[in-house]
């Protein structure tokens, strides 16, 4: 699937997203390349892959999350995260090759969490099960936050499954050391629209960055047997 993102109405990024759910496992991949003003400011390009098992009801149990990215002053960065069973929980641990400089959060913030990309798999599975309100504990390798999800009432005039998310900081945000600066710890609302069919394809997403809307919309769905390229 290919998406175009705009920030304050200006071209911001191109996004390629692949979501693969097998019978017992899943693999999600996203590639992002900034454009326009955001490219001039950040020089961001990145690829992330999430892999794991599917539990009852299609709920994801991540085993690995890898991300390679470039920023203006930080080139060839690598995030490697493994999810390891320990003492009755699954703990996110840094893997070989990780280049993160910030110390890991305390283990209590890395227990029974999922990575940011697996969030999409979890949301789609929950919607298929008919859940309308749930909270997802998320860890991105540096920050821990909760994604509070609500499925909004259907509107016949506005097709799709509409969800409202609220991202709430837990640890690793404002006031704590970070190589990427001091991220804002204020609650952040996100809107997400999925296709109203069995596939639950992400159609659109909107979130405010520096008080201006960042919006990503689906441009086209690629054939399963072809490379999804621009």
pLDDT of the residue at 177: 40
pLDDT of the residue at 39: 54
3 state SS for the chain: CEEEEEECCEEEEEEEEEEEECCCEEEEEEEEEECHHHHHHHCCEEEEEEEEEECHHHCEEEEEEEEEEEECCEEEEEEEEEEEEECCEEEEEECCCCCCCCCCCCHHHCECCECCCHHHHHHHHHHHCCCCEEEEEEECCCCEEEEEEEECCCCCCCCCEEEEEEEEEEECCCCCCCCCCCCCCCCEEEEEEECCCCCCCEEEEEEEECCEEEEEEEEECCCCCCCCCC
pLDDT of the residue at 182: 44
pTM of the model: 0.88
pLDDT of the residue at 7: 84
pLDDT of the residue at 157: 86
Binned average pLDDT, 10 residues per bin, the chain of 230 residues: 88 90 92 72 81 91 92 78 94 93 92 96 95 96 96 90 96 61 75 94 90 88 65
Domain ranges of the chain: 2-220
């Amino acid at each position: 699937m290919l998406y175009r993102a705009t920030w304050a109405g200006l071209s911001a990024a191109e996004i390629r997203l692949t979501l693969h759910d097998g019978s017992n496992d899943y693999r999600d991949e996203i590639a992002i390349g900034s454009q326009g003003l955001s490219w001039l400011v950040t020089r961001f390009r990145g690829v992330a892959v999430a892999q794991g098992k599917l539990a009852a009801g299609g709920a994801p149990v991540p085993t690995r999350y890898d991300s390679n990215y470039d920023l203006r002053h930080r080139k060839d960065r690598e995030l490697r995260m493994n999810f390891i069973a320990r003492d009755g929980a699954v703990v996110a641990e840094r893997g070989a090759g990780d280049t993160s400089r910030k110390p890991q959060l305390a283990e209590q913030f890395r227990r029974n969490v999922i990575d940011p990309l697996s969030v999409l798999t979890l949301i789609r599975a929950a919607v298929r099960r008919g859940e309308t309100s749930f909270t997802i504990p998320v860890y991105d390798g540096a920050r821990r936050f909760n994604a509070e999800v609500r499925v909004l009432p259907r509107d016949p005039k506005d097709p799709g499954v509409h969800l409202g998310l609220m991202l709430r900081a837990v640890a690793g945000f404002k006031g704590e050391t970070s190589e990427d600066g001091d991220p804002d710890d204020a609650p952040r609302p996100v809107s997400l629209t999925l296709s109203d069919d069995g596939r639950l394809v992400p159609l659109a997403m909107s979130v405010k960055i520096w008080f201006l809307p960042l919006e990503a919309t689906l441009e086209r769905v690629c054939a399963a047997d072809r490379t999804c390229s621009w």
